[in-house]
Structure 1
Amino acid sequence: MSKFPAPFLGFRAPALILAANSEHCLHSWFGNAGARPASPSLSIQARCCRLHGQTLRVSPEIPSTLFTDAVNPASIEEATRRVEEQLDGSGLNLVINNAGIFSDVSLATVDSEEMLGAYKTNVVGPMLVGQAFLPLLKKAAQGSSQKGLSCSKAAIVNISTVLGSIERVPETFSNPAISYRCSKAALNMLTQCQALSYAEDGILCAAVHPGWVQTDMGTQEADLPVDESVRGILTVLPTLSEKHSGSFWSWAGKTIPW
């Protein structure tokens, strides 16, 4: 059950979530989905963008919320600068790329503009964000006493979808969503490339399918309440380790084939 009134029921999650200084930090990201922050001292920056003219409201319980355009290099650079200031010499433990756009288009109706727009938001944005925050993630990893890789040490988590699984296309193609599924398949490739590239820096990278969730994108016809998806992800992320970097997981803790 949501703690917040109806205006929060639309676009409920920020496009980019950054967390530092606690292995329980994810609770603050999910504050507007019914989970209370674990500690008022957490350093949390939730990066949000305005989509299609909508004004996003944010929970006052999230310690620090800043707004940025998750596909604009200059905006991301400014966000990085402001985050670095707030961290005051510390590193950044976790980046969750949650930005995404969806259009219900088929091969008969999709056009180049639609494909390029989806690719820019769903793939290029997360790539730029990873590049921009890499120095802060490296700093967190270098300053950690933990061995191996984990989300509490330093990690990039890309929110993907089972529709991006090439192996699962036959069973999911009842909803073609061509631009969405193709761009998310590319995001999965990006995740693998990030995992291999950043492993030597001590940074874990993984993709997570949150399920078909009751949000603006998923609509209220979706079969998974936000709270249930949140609880699942909160359970999965702390279990990820070095052997899981570069993998694709569902909110329920099951691996998904590429």
Structure 2
Amino acid sequence: MKSILITGCNRGLGLGLVRKLVTEQTSPKCIMVTCRNLEKATELQEIANKNSNVHILQLDVQKTETFDKFFENVEKLVKDDGLNVLFNNAAYSPKSTRINFVKTEQMLQTFSINTVGPLMLTKALLPLLQKAASKNSNQPLGINRSAVINMSSYLGSISLNNIGGLYPYRCSKAALNMVTKTLSVDLKKDGILVTAIHPGWVKTDLGGSNAPMDVDTSVNSIINLMKILSVEHNGAFYTWEGKPMDW
């Protein structure tokens, strides 16, 4: 894997993935990380200052009108190698939980960030993903060729929903799962793998302090899973440990 782009890296799982990737013996040649506010991304800047392969790019996944310019910035970094991995990690969950409190604005904003953003960013960067897939056509389906990884959640599983609530987040992640499946069908001919991962219930701003798992445990397992992604993972939904999840 020569290159990887991860969205939403100012904190939480995105930041954890960056921390882990720079310590890998075979750290990618180009690690592109995004955040909405560069000034607030102090820890990300510290990592980039110490690791020349880390490049911070400004991106708000809601602002799809900026994706053409963003494509140009990514292309300058990956050049003729194309983009091996797009990791759609940026996510949002409003605080409301029950039907009496859910608002239209919350539903729309959550879908914009969690579903529409990843789909449209994948579309924008598709030529770079295709270039990497073509250049590494001797490689099997996986991250060393070309892959799109969507950070989903068990809360997006319809069959596992037995407590209700969390309408914006649940619905947006269920929709992201459908995006994952549909992309996996459309992009398989190009040699691009697409899969969805549930990172576990993790102690982050989104997961809350009651979560049983720390960030390092989750991201270590996710990166181990990334390394073994293959055709059998295409269009499927897995836990951070590589166990199949119910849709």
State the TM-score, normalizing by the size of structure 2.
0.86
Distance 1:224 1:253 in 2: 16
Q: Look up the match of 1:232.
A: 221
Matched ranges for 1:1-258 at <5 A = 11-14=11-14, 30-32=17-19, 36-38=23-25, 42-50=29-37, 55-57=40-42, 58=44, 59-60=47-48, 61=51, 63-105=54-96, 106-170=98-162, 173=163, 176-258=165-247
Pick closer, same or farther for the CA change 1:114–1:225 going to 2, 3 Å: same
Deviation (angstroms), 1:114:
0.8
Distance 1:98 1:40 in 2: 19
Distance 1:98 1:183 in 2: 13
Q: Which amino acid aligns with 1:71?
A: Q
CA contact (8 A) 1:69 1:76 kept: no
Deviation (angstroms), 1:239:
1.7
CA contact (8 A) 1:31 1:37 kept: no
Deviation (angstroms), 1:184:
0.3
Deviation (angstroms), 1:111:
1.3
Pick closer, same or farther for the CA change 1:199–1:37 going to 2, 3 Å: same
Deviation (angstroms), 1:85:
1.0
CA contact (8 A) 1:40 1:63 kept: no
Distance 2:172 2:158 in 1: 12
Q: Which amino acid aligns with 1:130?
A: T
Distance 2:218 2:205 in 1: 15
Q: Give the ranges of 4+ consecutive aligned residues of structure 1 lying more than 6 Å apart after TM superposition.
A: none
Deviations 1:115-158 (A, max 9, x none): 11111110000011100110000000001143441122100000
Greater helix fraction, Structure 1 or Structure 2: 2
CA contact (8 A) 1:14 1:49 kept: no
Structure 1 gaps of 5+ residues are 1-9, 16-28
Pick closer, same or farther for the CA change 1:246–1:229 going to 2, 3 Å: same
CA contact (8 A) 1:118 1:180 kept: yes
Distance 1:102 1:166 in 2: 17
Q: Which amino acid aligns with 1:47?
A: T
Q: Look up the match of 1:19.
A: none
Q: Which amino acid aligns with 1:249?
A: Y
CA contact (8 A) 2:21 2:27 kept: no
Q: Look up the match of 1:26.
A: none
Pick closer, same or farther for the CA change 1:33–1:222 going to 2, 3 Å: farther
Distance 1:208 1:40 in 2: 21
Q: Look up the match of 2:4.
A: none
1:46 match: secondary structure: strand
Structure 2 gaps of 5+ residues are 1-9
RMSD: 2.3
* 41-50 vs 136-145, greater mean Cα deviation: 41-50
Deviations 1:71-103 (A, max 9, x none): 212322222101101122221100000011012
Question: What percent identity do the matched residue pairs reach?
Answer: 33
